[in-house]
Structure 1
Amino acid sequence: CNSRFRWRRLPQFFNYPPYFTLQPVRDTHEKQIQLGKELILDYCKSQKIFLIGVEEDFPLFSNSAIDRSLSHEAKKTFLSAIVGEGRAEWLDKGHRKCLILWHRIQDWADIILQFVSHM
């Protein structure tokens, strides 16, 4: 286990080689994307990471212990799913940099409004 993951234990599926290959069966693919989204969001929130570059070295895009890495397509699929939920935004037309929001814009607005109203 990589020392950068002291935030919590990596989930078991991270050591499962098929996780690093986009699965062709729809139900399996959907589950894979859900697990990937949750892992990326949890990690970014705990490590206070706001920006992910698809072409940069991001710890959750590979697992050296099993010699596996996500393909460029898989990285974009995971990040696009997060964008689709409103929890991230692409910063460029080529979808190379992704701004992680942790919360949806509306959720941030609610948080700020609640904070201000209790001052």
Structure 2
Amino acid sequence: MQKLGDFKLPHFFNYPPYFTLQSIRDTREKQVQLWKELIIDYCRTQKVFVIGLEEEFPLFANPVIERSLSHEAREVFLSALVQEGRAEWVDKGHKKCLILGFGFKIGLIVF
């Protein structure tokens, strides 16, 4: 199993199609669900609270299979977390996302 530091990555992380938004609705829903859980698990264990949509984030690329998520895919996955109430956009342009999947909400963040 591949690791990112001390974080164990799921098997789907090595499957190239999961780095491309799927066009079939059922497949895409499963893809979004897997990515949401991966993002929350990673952020919780690594104590990451903010993800910059346009910044490098370890989960958004897999050099082993030479794949990375498109800007659209990143936005879809983070927006899905926002819709569930597990994250919030911290700016109007939706460039930074505050992850809330830790059981608490931070009251004030200064950037």
Please report the TM-score for the alignment, with normalisation by the length of structure 2: 0.88
Q: Provide the secondary structure at the position in 1 that maps to 2:40.
A: helix
User: Which of structure 1's runs of 4+ aligned residues deviate more than 2 A?
Assistant: 1-4
Contact 2:3 2:9 in 1 (8 A): no
Contact 2:36 2:81 in 1 (8 A): yes
Matched, 1:79 2:49: no
Aligned-pair CA distance for 1:108: 3.7
Measure the CA separation in 1 of the matches of 2:11 and 2:45.
19
- Given residue 53 of structure 1, which amino acid in structure 2 is its aligned partner? G
Overall identity of the aligned pairs, in %: 65
Measure the CA separation in 1 of the matches of 2:104 and 2:64.
37
Measure the CA separation in 2 of the matches of 1:27 and 1:46.
29
Measure the CA separation in 2 of the matches of 1:90 and 1:67.
29
Looking at CA atoms only, which structure, 1 or 2, has the larger radius of gyration?
Answer: 1
Partner of 2:68: 69
CA RMSD of aligned residues (A): 1.4
- Given residue 92 of structure 2, which amino acid in structure 1 is its aligned partner? K
More helix by percentage: 1
Q: Provide the secondary structure at the position in 1 that maps to 2:91.
A: coil
Please report the TM-score for the alignment, with normalisation by the length of structure 1: 0.82
- Given residue 20 of structure 1, which amino acid in structure 2 is its aligned partner? F
Contact 2:14 2:65 in 1 (8 A): yes
Partner of 1:50: 49
Measure the CA separation in 1 of the matches of 2:4 and 2:29.
29
Partner of 1:60: 59
More strand by percentage: 2
Q: Provide the secondary structure at the position in 2 that maps to 1:24.
A: coil
